[in-house]
Structures are given as C-alpha cells and as structure tokens.
Amino acid sequence: MTSSEGTFLTDQQLTMLYDKSVEVICKRDRRFAPLPAMWRDKATAYWDRIRLKYNGFMIPYRKDFNGTPGSAINGNLMGLFFNASLHKKTKKPPTFSYFGNQRLMVNSSFIVNVHQNIYFVDFYCHNLRDHYVTLVVARPGSVVDNFCQRNLKQINIFNNPFLKIVNGKLYVTLGANIEVFYTDIVDVNRVVHDRIGRFSPVTFRGMGSKEFGIAKNLSCKVCNLW
C-alpha cells in the first residue's frame, strides 16, 4: 500500500456513488439470496504457480485501475478479488468465467464474518448494463483497516444493501454484481484440506484479466458522478 492520500474521491463523492448504487438496486431487484460460497476464477497455470512457487499461499496483489477513476484502493491496497454475484433466476454462481478455467469456491464465512470490517468503495459498469459494487474486507485494527477507515465508507455487516449476515448466514443482493476485495493471505492448501473450499472446472470465455484493469464506462449516466 502506498502512503499518498488526498487525490481520491471525496467523502461527498463516495456517498453519492453509494447512493447511486442503492438506487439502482432498489429499481432492479431488492431481493437477497443465500450466499454459501464465494469464488475466484483463474487459469490452471495461476493455481499451479501458487502451489509450486508460493507453497500454496495466495498472496494479495496491488489493486489495478479497474472501475472508478479516483477510487482510493486503485494502486494502493493489496488484496484478492472474490466474486459474490449470483444469477437472478437460478440464484447460483455463473456457469462460465471471463478470468480462467479453474474455480476455487470458498465458504463465504471465511471471507466475510463478524470478525471483519466491511467497506463500500466503488460502483461502476463497463457496458451500461451490468453494474458492479466493490466491497473491501479488512481485519479490524490492521494497517489496511486504518486506511479504509480514512478513505472508504464503512457499512454494517448486519444491515446494508449489498452483502449482510442474517441469522448467522450470508446473503447477497440480486440487484447488482458484488465483488469482494479480501485483504489477507489465503492458504489454499489449508482451505482445501479443511474443506473450507474446493476446486472445480469452469467454462472459460474471453481474454482473461487486463494487466491494469479497465476504467469504468464514462458514458453511463447511472454510475458516473459527472
């Protein structure tokens, strides 16, 4: 994480972005669905490298510049993205991926739980149709958490429009795509051995991730502030 701060979205702008995301969810689909697991899709070579080079440890990487320009986490926070977006009709994860042919499914409670702080940071789209909300999860009192406290919008894990715990279980909105930026190391070997998660093949479409990410569609009147 870099130490430069002050060129990010202002508190007012971040609140406006938050309000826009809530407005879209309220218009499109107010329902929540159970989210027993989150997932991370990558090519087989990525997972082989994790096992062979890093002894099974998935190390957080620096956040790229995908999404809203001026987002505080772009180029600053280190983390790992997990997908939490369910299909509206089936209420299940998508059957294909734009990011790779191997999917690591992880119990949601491992990623988001009462021992973590959760923050809203971004709302964006690339194609005027599919809108994404980015949430950051951090250990309370950590360096990352202190950064988030200063620059992001903290939300209540039990009561928010995106991802919340109800009666001990995690539920996700069906009104927008939700992605979670997890800011700790993941021991993949332990996750699989302890049956916290498992690998499965997934149909791969597209070109995979872009090196520096993709900026949001600035022509969209739904998710832009200007």
Q: Is residue 211 part of a domain?
A: no
Q: Is residue 1 part of a domain?
A: no
Q: b/e map of 35-58 (b: 16 or more CB within 10 Å)?
A: bebbbbbbbeebbeebeeeeebeb
The residue type of 29 is: D
Per-residue pLDDT, 226: 78
Per-residue pLDDT, 5: 53
Q: Tens-of-pLDDT digits for all 226 residues of the chain?
A: 444 455 799 999 999 999 999 999 999 999 999 999 999 999 999 999 999 999 999 999 999 999 999 999 999 999 999 999 999 999 999 999 989 999 999 999 999 999 999 999 999 998 878 999 999 999 999 999 999 999 999 999 999 999 999 999 999 999 999 999 999 999 999 999 999 999 999 999 866 556 557 778 989 999 998 7
Q: Is residue 15 part of a domain?
A: yes
The dihedral through the CA atoms of 148, 151, 155, 160 has a sign that is negative
Domain, as residue range, for 157: 11-204
Q: Is residue 82 part of a domain?
A: yes
Q: Is residue 218 part of a domain?
A: no
Q: Is residue 69 part of a domain?
A: yes
Total structural domains within the chain? 1
**CB-based contact 190:94 (threshold 8 Å):** no
Q: Is residue 209 part of a domain?
A: no
Cα distance between residue 44 and residue 68, in whole Å = 30
Tokens of 43: 């090519």
Q: Is residue 226 part of a domain?
A: no
